[in-house]
Structure 1
Amino acid sequence: MTPRLTHIALHLRDLEASIAFYRDICGMRIVHERNDGGTRVVWMAEPGRETDFIFVLLPGGPGRDQAEKDFSHFGFALESRAAVDRVAAAAEEAGYLACPPRDEPYPVGYYCGLRDPDGNFVEFSYGQPLGPGAKPLDVGS
């Protein structure tokens, strides 16, 4: 079997704030929770993708305040440009907006950027090859 990416584990400064962010802004939900030797461990996933890919959230991390030129991020695809605008507006109101919506040439598309409570950059896009609104990426290029 070819390896398949199933999860990313995040060791977070503020577990509760991160759960709220990924639930309220990203639309994820808790799919598993346990106490592991006194440590609360939470699994979150997009509805309908609980067996495909999850975020494992762990408390007690140092935070991740990325440098200005560090483009590491989590990417969420949305169904329209209007949906990107709605996420950006909600993020701005909540104090998470780091980059207002903008258009970039294919394959980047229309996107906005947020900072989660731990400092991770989170992108919401429309028109990228892995989400709605774009032609498939030519993997031979």
Structure 2
Amino acid sequence: MRPTLTHIALHVPQLQPCIDFYATFCGMRVIHERAGKGSRIVWMAEPGKEHQFILVMMPGGQDRHLATDDYSHFGFAVESRESVDSIAAQAEAAGCLIWPPRDEPYPVGYYCGLRDPAGNYVEFSYGQPLGPGSEALPIP
């Protein structure tokens, strides 16, 4: 038997701002919500991937205070460098851009980073050997 990663569950200080962030920047949507131990528990997924991987969020967490050189993050692949630039511009206007777009040698590619309302870092990348367009790239 081989395990499969299906979800990540996070406690967040404020639930609704996190839901809004992942809907706006990541294109995720709420696919399930329920009451749980006096709070609201939300499942979010990318459209079409509801049975593959979800993000579970529950209120009650503490804000994470990561240094700008801490590269702990959730990674999302996008279809072009222009998509990275567009997300970065939107994030800068919203005040949540932490890593402006930059190019790194393969396998890192072109990316930017945002801070979600709970303090987690979220990377948007193009040119990594994962996600859109990766079929033509070798895995290191």
Quick check: TM above 0.5? yes
Percent of pairs with identical residues: 65
Query: Over aligned residue pairs, what C-alpha RMSD do you find?
Result: 1.0
Give the superposition deviation at 1:54: 0.4
Q: Give the 3-state SS of the residue equivalent to 1:118 in structure 2.
A: coil
Say which is worse superposed, 129-138 or 84-93, in terms of deviation. Answer: 129-138
Cα distance in 2, alignment partners of residues 51 and 95 from structure 1: 32
What does residue 139 of structure 2 align with?
Answer: 137
Alignment of 1:22-33 (within 5 A): 22-33=22-33
Q: Contact 2:42–2:56 at 8 Å: present in 1 too?
A: yes
Question: How does the TM-score come out when normalised to structure 2?
Answer: 0.94
Cα distance in 2, alignment partners of residues 130 and 136 from structure 1: 10
**In the alignment, residue 79 of structure 1 is paired with which amino acid?**
E
What does residue 57 of structure 1 align with?
Answer: 57
What does residue 44 of structure 1 align with?
Answer: 44
Cα distance in 2, alignment partners of residues 43 and 56 from structure 1: 5
Cα distance in 1, alignment partners of residues 132 and 48 from structure 2: 17
Cα distance in 2, alignment partners of residues 93 and 51 from structure 1: 33
**In the alignment, residue 65 of structure 2 is paired with which amino acid?**
D
Q: Give the 3-state SS of the residue equivalent to 1:5 in structure 2.
A: coil
| Residues 68, 96 of structure 1: alpha-carbon distance in 2 compared, 3 angstrom cutoff | closer
What does residue 14 of structure 2 align with?
Answer: 14
How many residues get paired? 138
Give the superposition deviation at 1:64: 1.2
Q: Contact 1:102–1:110 at 8 Å: present in 2 too?
A: yes
**In the alignment, residue 87 of structure 2 is paired with which amino acid?**
V
* CA offsets 1:31-87 (integer angstroms, 9 cap, x no match): 000011321000000111000000000001012111344211000000000011111
Structure 2 unaligned regions, length at least 5 = none
Give the superposition deviation at 1:136: 2.6
Give the superposition deviation at 1:132: 2.4
Cα distance in 2, alignment partners of residues 14 and 95 from structure 1: 17
Q: Contact 2:68–2:98 at 8 Å: present in 1 too?
A: no
Question: How does the TM-score come out when normalised to structure 1?
Answer: 0.94
Structure 1 unaligned regions, length at least 5 = none
What does residue 125 of structure 2 align with?
Answer: 125
